[in-house]
């Protein structure tokens, strides 16, 4: 589940949200979708509140799908389920 405290703290930080959790994420600006290549889980990558143009340069955003793929691969390597809400700026 999405933690409201996490969402409040991540208004301008990039996050990935599992597609099944997106309905619970109000004011989330999806920039791109990414799939887990191992299990097919679909994530929306973006920001809460404002669009990325307000906070990020294009070059920074291009790294986010790669970061998410690395996190998802590590989940599979460690035999753990993907989180519904993943911070990508850490």
pLDDT for res 3: 45
For the chain, where are the alpha helices, taking DSSP H only?
4-9, 58-62, 64-77
- The average pLDDT across 10-36 equals 86
For β-strands 42-48 and 85-87, DSSP reports them as: unpaired
Q: What is the pLDDT of residues 33-78, one digit of tens each?
A: 999 999 999 999 998 875 545 445 554 677 899 999 999 999 999 9
Both ends of the chain: CA-CA distance in Å?
20
- Report pTM: 0.77
**What is the structure's pLDDT at 10?**
43
pLDDT, residue 62, reads: 78
């Amino acid at each position: 589940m999405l933690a409201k405290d996490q969402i409040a703290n991540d208004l301008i930080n990039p996050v990935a949200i599992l597609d099944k959790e997106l309905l619970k994420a109000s004011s989330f600006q999806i920039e791109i979708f990414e799939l887990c290549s191992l299990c097919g889980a679909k994530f929306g990558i973006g920001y809460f509140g404002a669009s990325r143009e307000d906070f990020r340069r294009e070059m920074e955003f291009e790294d986010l799908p790669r970061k998410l793929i690395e996190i998802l691969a590590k989940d599979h390597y460690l035999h753990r389920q993907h989180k519904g809400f993943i911070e990508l700026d850490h």
